[in-house]
Structure 1
């Protein structure tokens, strides 16, 4: 029987092997004490197995307090645990309950993080994965050979549908590829969802009729499932090509339900990411996280950005981008979305470290606050990436391109 293997980073003051066995038992056939029904035959078929333990460094202080453990030496290790897929089949919520669930509360651990998941090939027979992915999003926007350039509507909330549409008009005429609602905007009192879709799609459709380029606008349809479906159908009927979902707010089952429609490219926003990842020994790492959303069918997913405005290190961002670009199952492709305090100045380092243009490169203030306005901001980002691919430094790119030079004069000081 096929098995799923999960990789964990653990910390415990107790014996490593015994602690790993507790994890495996708690998350499969066992409990804190042997029970009559737990036969050897049952355990052989359904119990999780500890596949390997790689001992790492130790610490004299626990990463996470535990009132039930005495002070001591806290050992750390990478462990691999596997489960038969008989335990949960192809049920994603039960899979998550198994691979994460109660294990974060086990007394034996003062640190535990899900680092990666290895899925058997049969998952590709059951899950359709992203409908569009990298190549599909390129076709929808007619962009090849460079990152898709995108922005977020700012201010995040407070603009009417008509005001938003005016800004969208400026952006599409400037050559933007992608625009999205902010995750804080759903259907607000001053910007009802349907009216916003109508106003914006009138602009985008008119521009497409005139130029042949349809800009991708990701409307935030995050809501209760039935309302999300109505929002989705409204976008499709209006000629839209994309929708955004707040992944952690909606959840795997809700996101998959919407992705299964397979008519719009789904932009996965990971707001709340710090809550489940920021601690080095608690939560989930991005390589595991993005695989779950690829299974659900998300086409684009946020990875933060180089020299970002948040807490995440550049090394972590690079790892996230690389994990999105690694082949998964039978071609489940997802487009990394670079964002968070980005402007053209980070393009050089982003390209140097990742050697890819298969990105959606998002800038909010980096476009909106450009000295020449949003139009200048879009052009400056295109110039920045051209300079990066051509091997130019930020300084040399600024000498070559006037709009990017203006960006440096404003954002380079921050």
Structure 2
């Protein structure tokens, strides 16, 4: 039996649900608005998308999106539903770009729908014959960072842009001396004339390597190599030559094919930054969930990805954040092809206050916990900020309330006071 791809959607439509689901299946496989020559029964049997499940979710008072149509006759009650479609792999081949065209494609523009959102994907393991998936994932990242049994504590170079190579390196010096595990470039900092990539990486790695020689701890630095494919490969090689242990790429900026090329070339973990995600994920009525989105990038080869954070500064709910993080740690395929787990990265307005609710919701310490102001703005300075996060996570794992643990941890007490909002 030919392997199939399954996609789950939320839809909203005034058309009969079975008709709307059939419209989706036809639009994204063999059909169009009329039967055409060559569309034989045999062809449809072999290649038409199937409606596997259709579950009504209730009536909707007003359309979520503009521009939707109404049926010409009959009941025009608007309803929401959950739909599962499937396609044979032979329709698009083992190709992530063409898979994306199939499961997303023109669906969001169809007039029959006032809402349509991709919720999840289930892919057959045959994709692993074409795509390598993460090279390092959770285990390999922990080994390079030499951090076990707790989250990898990280931060971001701030201000995002404006610092030159030496100023960036000086900020890194203070962070590595503070005991940080992971530092990343901001996604806005790549290879501008005021801070060229090669010069910045050389300056930063000189500091990190000197610290590693003195202490034995080599901090992981994710250098943002986002650019054209040839630039990214050359930048990767420069990071590797300087002794770096991570690179970062903006996923939406470079696209799946470029990520596949980078993964095939890379000898370092790839930190996948999701900037631009809000265009796809913010509206509940269109786009796709991060659960679906991150599966594409896991196959393409990322090792870490941002999932936002508990009580974040953006608009994403805590439930959505945790669902994304759990999915990153969940195998994509059934046995014996399990794997492709990646490290979720919590960020966005995080501080010692979010450690306990994050651990309670995730149930795991397999994550990066990245704080900017939560470290840099600690009243006792960055070193105290790092210690406060470690103390907060130790307390969370031990089941001790943060306020109680703070009685014996002055850095944590100061953090709870400073970041009470």
TM-score bucket (shorter structure) = over 0.9
Contact 1:61 / 1:73 at 8 angstroms: preserved in 2? no
Greater than 4 Å deviation, 4+ residue runs: none
Q: Does 1:252 align with 2:260?
A: no
1:400 deviates by: 2.0
**Separation in structure 2 between the aligned mates of residue 202 and residue 280 of structure 1, nearest angstrom:** 46
1:235-263 per-position Cα deviation (integer Å, ceiling 9, x unaligned): 11111111111111111111121112231
TM-score, normalised to structure 2, is 0.96
Q: Does 1:378 align with 2:386?
A: yes
**Separation in structure 2 between the aligned mates of residue 221 and residue 13 of structure 1, nearest angstrom:** 46
Contact 1:9 / 1:112 at 8 angstroms: preserved in 2? yes
Give 1:347's aligned residue: 355
Q: Secondary structure at the match of 2:307?
A: strand
**Separation in structure 2 between the aligned mates of residue 50 and residue 72 of structure 1, nearest angstrom:** 22
Q: Which moved more, 1:253-262 or 1:131-140?
A: 253-262
1:35 deviates by: 0.5
Contact 2:173 / 2:207 at 8 angstroms: preserved in 1? yes
Q: Secondary structure at the match of 1:283?
A: coil
What are the within-5 Å matches in structure 2 for residues 9-408 of structure 1? 9-66=10-67, 68-69=69-70, 72-329=76-333, 330-408=338-416
Q: Secondary structure at the match of 1:29?
A: coil
**Separation in structure 2 between the aligned mates of residue 212 and residue 45 of structure 1, nearest angstrom:** 60
**Separation in structure 2 between the aligned mates of residue 66 and residue 222 of structure 1, nearest angstrom:** 36
1:205-251 per-position Cα deviation (integer Å, ceiling 9, x unaligned): 11122222211100111111111111111111111111111111111
1:72 deviates by: 4.1
1:111-155 per-position Cα deviation (integer Å, ceiling 9, x unaligned): 111101111121223321100000010000000000000000011
**Separation in structure 1 between the aligned mates of residue 342 and residue 265 of structure 2, nearest angstrom:** 17
Q: Secondary structure at the match of 2:81?
A: strand
**Separation in structure 1 between the aligned mates of residue 402 and residue 312 of structure 2, nearest angstrom:** 17
1:48 deviates by: 0.8
Contact 1:60 / 1:72 at 8 angstroms: preserved in 2? no
**Separation in structure 2 between the aligned mates of residue 200 and residue 67 of structure 1, nearest angstrom:** 53
Q: Which moved more, 1:144-153 or 1:204-213?
A: 204-213
Structure 2 residues not aligned, in runs of 5+ = none
Q: Secondary structure at the match of 1:182?
A: coil
1:269-316 per-position Cα deviation (integer Å, ceiling 9, x unaligned): 111111111111111011111111110110001111111111111111
1:184 deviates by: 0.7
Q: CA RMSD in A?
A: 1.2
**Separation in structure 1 between the aligned mates of residue 70 and residue 54 of structure 2, nearest angstrom:** 22
**Separation in structure 1 between the aligned mates of residue 274 and residue 68 of structure 2, nearest angstrom:** 32
**Separation in structure 1 between the aligned mates of residue 134 and residue 62 of structure 2, nearest angstrom:** 43
Q: Secondary structure at the match of 2:361?
A: helix
Aligned length: 413
TM-score, normalised to structure 1, is 0.98
1:333-358 per-position Cα deviation (integer Å, ceiling 9, x unaligned): 10000000000111011111111100
**Separation in structure 2 between the aligned mates of residue 380 and residue 195 of structure 1, nearest angstrom:** 33
**Separation in structure 2 between the aligned mates of residue 237 and residue 180 of structure 1, nearest angstrom:** 18
1:9 deviates by: 0.5
Q: Secondary structure at the match of 2:66?
A: coil
**Separation in structure 2 between the aligned mates of residue 267 and residue 397 of structure 1, nearest angstrom:** 33
Q: Secondary structure at the match of 1:282?
A: coil
1:381 deviates by: 0.8
**Separation in structure 2 between the aligned mates of residue 259 and residue 404 of structure 1, nearest angstrom:** 39
1:66 deviates by: 1.6
